[in-house]
Amino acid sequence: MSQKPIVLHTAPHVKKPQDVPMIMRNVVYALLPIVAFAVYQFGISVLLLTIVVVLSCLGTERFFNWMSDKPSSLNDWSSTITGLLLALTLPPGFPLWMGAVAAFAGVAIAKVVFGGIGYNVFNPALAGRAFVQAAFPVAITTWTPAFFSGRFTEFVPSTLTSPLMMPPETAEWVKQVAVDGFSGATPLGMMKFQSISTPTADLLLGTVAGSAGETSALLILLCGAYLIARKMMNWQIPAWIFVGVIITSGVLYLINPDKYADPMFMLFSGGLMLGAMFMASDMVGSPLTPKGVMIYGLLIGFLTVLIRQFGSLSEGIMYAILLGNAMTPLIDTWTQPRLFGAQPKKGKSA
């Protein structure tokens, strides 16, 4: 009588029916409503920018696959996510060629150099944006009014700027599209440099200027909740970031409410929601232990408020997450649990 062989495997012995492509596809599904709202809010310039950035990310990864004689890795959807997130962090009228440069820098420098998916230290989308923040500081801080007339029939003038040419001034164009009350600044910029606050309802619903996908905090929260419900995102990371922001901004607000923004404004303005829900929660660049996740989230929240309030820039979430990514290996080392039965190491005698 034949018997079935006993096969020994290492843990985990029970696996969920999930793989990397499946998780990545669901992240894409969660991002699509944000992209759709950005197109509705800013028009065809955002649509074309998103297409160019995504295709540039895919093309860059495929090029390096070919250069290294490796099979195509595009079917894991990671570069698609990088392209979508990167496009959502850019101004709506960002020149297309600069978007392509950002995509190449993000994939090539922050992903391919480190060995590809699963090995990158920094979030590729944020690394790409940080590159163009340094390379094109004027273009990256030129904003487009939300819901301007003709957004579905004409491009923002700077969108089709030729490579290596300076984008045209948008002041005259803004007057032509007749946008009342548009100051050319984001809510964070108005608060930092003009001490003008924006109603919380506008920040939640997305009726303000800003990067293409950062304006509606409520929509981003709902899309992130989809991934949390499907157990494809560690909810503790954004939660601890929010706690860090509330505590830090709350203390400053209590010290001087006339100078510092209140916690609700800090929480719902700028790219905090998009960064906390979809970038800081990246499984590769975030800590593994519960204590490490807490430290990581609180650190990002603290740094975001610190940069916003005391730095030269009005936004700080991008650099806060990149610094958190850099600290992740050290945080994992600090918070590594002791093995069961292992004795603590004794200090060496002199």
- Tens-digit pLDDT profile for residues 281-295: 988 889 989 999 999
CA distances from 206 to 30, 50, 68, 211, 316 (A): 17, 19, 43, 11, 19
Residue 318 lies in a domain: no
Note whether 47 and 87 are within 8 A (CB). no
Residue 84 lies in a domain: yes
Note whether 177 and 150 are within 8 A (CB). yes
Note whether 332 and 291 are within 8 A (CB). no
Note whether 323 and 280 are within 8 A (CB). no
Instruction: DSSP letter for 212, please.
Output: T
pLDDT band at 132; cut points 50, 70, 90: very high
State the Rg of the chain over Cα: 22
Residue carrying the six token digits 């860059």: 60
Residue 242 lies in a domain: no
Residue 131 lies in a domain: yes
Amino acid 131: pLDDT: 95
Asked whether residue 228 carries a pLDDT value surpassing 50, the answer given is: yes
pLDDT tens digits, residue range 235-281? 999 999 999 999 999 999 999 998 899 999 999 999 999 999 999 99
CA distances from 245 to 160, 203, 223, 240, 275 (A): 37, 16, 21, 9, 13
pLDDT tens digits, residue range 78-130? 999 999 999 999 999 999 999 999 999 999 999 888 887 878 889 999 999 99
Distance CA 287, CA 280 (A): 10
**Residue-number span of the structural domain to which 179 is assigned:** 21-142+144-184
| pTM for this model (two decimals) | 0.88
Q: 292 or 163: which carries more pLDDT confidence? A: 292
Q: 162 or 265: which carries more pLDDT confidence? A: 265
Residue 61 lies in a domain: yes
Distance CA 195, CA 296 (A): 30
Amino acid 221: pLDDT: 96
Amino acid 313: pLDDT: 84
pLDDT tens digits, residue range 30-85? 999 999 999 999 999 999 999 999 999 999 999 998 888 888 888 889 999 999 99
Structure tokens at 262: 């209140």
Q: 3 or 101: which carries more pLDDT confidence? A: 101
Distance CA 77, CA 22 (A): 9
Say how many C-beta atoms besides its own lie within 10 A of residue 298's C-beta: 18
Amino acid 144: pLDDT: 87
Distance CA 126, CA 148 (A): 28
Average pLDDT score, the chain? 87
Note whether 67 and 13 are within 8 A (CB). no
Structure tokens at 120: 């990158």
Distance of CA 241 to the CA centre of its chain: 13
C-alpha closest to that of 97 among 144, 165, 41, 29 = 165
Within the chain, where are the H helices? 20-42, 44-67, 78-88, 96-107, 124-135, 171-176, 187-194, 200-205, 217-229, 236-255, 263-268, 272-274, 290-310, 317-334
Buried residues in 118-138 as b, exposed as e (16+ CB within 10 A): eebbbbbbbbbbbbbbeebee
For the chain, the domain total comes to: 1
Q: Kindly report the backbone phi and psi dihedral angles of residue 233, in degrees, each rounded to the nearest multiple of 5, phi listed first.
A: -145, 140
Amino acid 184: pLDDT: 64
Amino acid 76: pLDDT: 85
Q: 10 or 212: which carries more pLDDT confidence? A: 212
Structure tokens at 32: 């699509």
Amino acid 191: pLDDT: 86
Residue 130 lies in a domain: yes
Residue 264 lies in a domain: no
Residue 9 lies in a domain: no
Asked whether residue 178 carries a pLDDT value surpassing 60, the answer given is: no
Say how many C-beta atoms besides its own lie within 10 A of residue 141's C-beta: 16
